[in-house]
Chain A
Amino acid sequence: MSLLTIDRLNKRFGGLVAVQDFDLTVEKGEIVGLIGPNGAGKTTLFNLIACFYGPDSGRILFQERSLIGMRPYQICALGIARTFQVTKPFVNNTVLENVMVGAFSRTGSAKAAREKALEMLQVVEFSDRQDVLGQELTTADHKRLELARALATEPKLLLLDEVMAGLNATEKVHLIDLLRRIRNQGITLVVVEHDMRAVMTLCERIVLMHQGRKLVEGSPQEVASDPQAIAAYLGEEYAAA
């Protein structure tokens, strides 16, 4: 049984086809990378999985359960969490309070939520900044905060929308290490990413989207050497490297 099954998914905005006949299966414990040029439909696909809007047609099954017609907050209860491309911290709350909001999805007790949040901050190694307000953080910190907040909801599937953007090289290496550890806890990851080096290192399977469709799918090596992928996105330079 696959964790996530997407079957002939379609979404259009007016005349613009954002996602077209898209299929994807994600198995438990995988790290799947979703790449593609801007406007390829990656974030739209994320928003469809997270039920921020519904598809025009097609099926999305999470653990054999259809997500069509559900609301975003119901998805969270099932075990899907996400981060946002443009980070959305709760700016007037401290880091700890931000993460507690996530933890409250599994407990009604403030004490238990606090403990859970402290644990998650330790996992993402952010404990030293737990009392800093959301608005005082840098972009790199926001990414970390969103990750801790999402993890606090105890997800089975974590959707990460460009978590690498805005990080420097050292921070990226460190985050890749962290994401691997998260996966080793049994959490499945689907990441949208522009940073090819990070995607190639992190993911076991990569899906290249182009104009709303799946163009190429395979291991990092397969995708990197695929002529279609090179033509559509990676470029000759990458193929040479």
Chain B
Amino acid sequence: MSSPGTGWEKGSVVAKRERISLGWLVIAAFLLLFLLVPLFLHDPYPLHIFVLVFHFAFLGTAWSLVSMAGQLSLGHAALMGIGGYTSTLLFMEWGVSPWIGMWAGAIACAIIGVVIGYPAFRLRGPYFALTSIAFAEILRIYVENTEVGPFGIPLRAAMGLLVPLRGQAPALFQFDSKEPYYYIALVMMCIAVGLSYLINRSRIGFYLTAIRSDQDAAEALGINSTKYKLIAMAISCALTALGGTFYAQYFRYINPERAMGLGMSIEIALVGVVGGWQTVLGPMIGSILLTPTGELVRAYLGGTYAGLHLLLYGLLLMGVILFLPNGLNDPLVRAFRRLEARVWGRAGGAGGVAPPARPQEKQPQQGERG
């Protein structure tokens, strides 16, 4: 298949050799560090902040699976609430261990996600975001005003549910100290990020990014866009429900205002957007930055300036959208690649590894005639 050289010469098709990347070493180092933290840190408050960082990294990662298909959910708190309420009610009413109950919540939320997504995904534009807010708000208002739900479910309205205390009961997802929660949150985060990584490298991940870039082109390549959005939605909702059970067990209390409220939905989305929505590590980066900031501001200045952390979130969000519209992930990855190149003694690295911060205008083409 040789052809005359015309500037479109054949390049070498040698696949980039996989070498042990510095990235994996750094991830392994962080993981080891996180595993060891409770051995040195016995003060419950810093541990609590770590737990929240992992928890929101988990929720943000679950959320970002939907955003990979270009869909913005601002109602994920509802799924968290349903997950937490399901496992807690099952425990309260029938003594079902939350370890089991959490899967009931996950399955319920996967189904709910598909039911909400099916009509909304068929429309293009902001309709999914609006639908997700509407769903979460309707659910919150309903639970806040309902003492006894259908089939006699004791929802307890705005009071919320207290998880019956059983002391140190690992089989019932209850522990006396913070350390077990710390490790559970860490494992959950690792599972979510690992799952997101696998999805990204598989057919579903390629299809989701294709749908996000250009749905018509994606469909022309055989992609049933509604189906793949629903798959992403179901996985995301199921994971978020599991996060809801963790939330309920960790705080031993769940109420509609916090667990289903718009504030929680926005916090989940914010972690993803700031870190780099549509990326694997972005939500984790976002949570590492946002969660301690928010928590410390709330703890130390919340008394004098109530709501200051929200103002701070708003400012951060504005800054990120203005200067880093793709989130913190891309510049960090680029800086890291440069470092990696230096460590491996390679100048530069492959061309065009990371995207520029802003999508460039199409370059002027040569020789275009009308």
Contact in complex: A171, B8 (CB < 8 Å): yes
Contact in complex: A71, B224 (CB < 8 Å): yes
Cα A105 to Cα B350 in complex, Å, equals: 28
Contact in complex: B8, A100 (CB < 8 Å): no
Chain B residues with Cβ below 8 Å from A71 are 219, 224
Cross-interface CB contact of B221 among A76, A97, A123, A165, cutoff 8 Å: A76
Contact in complex: A73, B219 (CB < 8 Å): yes
Q: Indicate whether A24 reaches chain B with its CB closer than 8 angstroms.
A: no
Q: Indicate whether B9 reaches chain A with its CB closer than 8 angstroms.
A: yes
Cross-interface CB contact of A91 among B15, B202, B213, B353, cutoff 8 Å: B213
Cross-interface CB contact of B352 among A94, A100, A139, cutoff 8 Å: A94
- Closest residue of chain B to A124 (Cβ to Cβ) is B8
Q: Indicate whether A14 reaches chain B with its CB closer than 8 angstroms.
A: no
CB within 8 Å for A52 and B216 given contacts A128-B9, A132-B351, A174-B6: yes
Say how far A70's CB is from chain B's closest CB, in angstroms.
11
Cross-interface CB contact of B219 among A72, A118, A150, cutoff 8 Å: A72
Contact in complex: A131, B11 (CB < 8 Å): no
CB within 8 Å for A170 and B6 given contacts A77-B222, A93-B209, A105-B221: yes
Chain A residues with Cβ below 8 Å from B9 are 125, 128
Q: Indicate whether A239 reaches chain B with its CB closer than 8 angstroms.
A: no
Contact in complex: B8, A174 (CB < 8 Å): yes
Contact in complex: B222, A73 (CB < 8 Å): yes
Q: Which candidate, A29-37, A60-68, A80-88, is the interface stretch facing chain B?
A: A80-88
Contact in complex: B366, A181 (CB < 8 Å): no
Contact in complex: B352, A110 (CB < 8 Å): no
Interface-centre pick from B207, B223, B353, B360 (highest chain A CB count, 10 A): B223
CB within 8 Å for A122 and B222 given contacts A88-B214, A100-B206, A136-B360: no
Number of B residues near A (Cβ < 8 Å) is 45
CB within 8 Å for A173 and B367 given contacts A90-B209, A90-B214: no
Contact in complex: B353, A131 (CB < 8 Å): yes
Contact in complex: B221, A102 (CB < 8 Å): yes
Cα A82 to Cα B222 in complex, Å, equals: 11
Cα A92 to Cα B211 in complex, Å, equals: 12
Cα A100 to Cα B222 in complex, Å, equals: 12
Cα A76 to Cα B219 in complex, Å, equals: 8
Contact in complex: B10, A135 (CB < 8 Å): no
Contact in complex: B15, A149 (CB < 8 Å): no
Contact in complex: B3, A174 (CB < 8 Å): yes
Contact in complex: A123, B1 (CB < 8 Å): yes
CB within 8 Å for A153 and B222 given contacts A90-B213, A101-B206, A136-B360: yes
Cross-interface CB contact of A104 among B8, B207, B355, B359, cutoff 8 Å: B207
Contact in complex: A101, B210 (CB < 8 Å): yes
Q: Indicate whether B22 reaches chain A with its CB closer than 8 angstroms.
A: no
Chain A residues with Cβ below 8 Å from B355 are 92, 133, 135
Chain B residues with Cβ below 8 Å from A105 are 221-223
Chain A residues with Cβ below 8 Å from B17 are none
Contact in complex: A92, B209 (CB < 8 Å): yes
Say how far B107's CB is from chain A's closest CB, in angstroms.
24
* Interchain Cβ contacts under 8 Å between A and B, 14 examples: A73-B219, A88-B213, A88-B214, A92-B209, A105-B221, A131-B16, A131-B353, A132-B352, A136-B352, A138-B365, A139-B362, A144-B8, A166-B365, A166-B368
Known: A101-B206, A136-B352, A138-B366. 5 other contacts (CB 8 A): A52-B216, A72-B216, A127-B12, A131-B16, A153-B222
Q: Which of A's residues lie within 8 Å of B, judged by CB?
A: 50, 52, 71-73, 76-77, 81-82, 84, 88-94, 97, 100-102, 104-105, 108, 110, 113-114, 118, 121-123, 125-140, 144, 149-150, 153, 165-171, 173-174, 177-178, 181
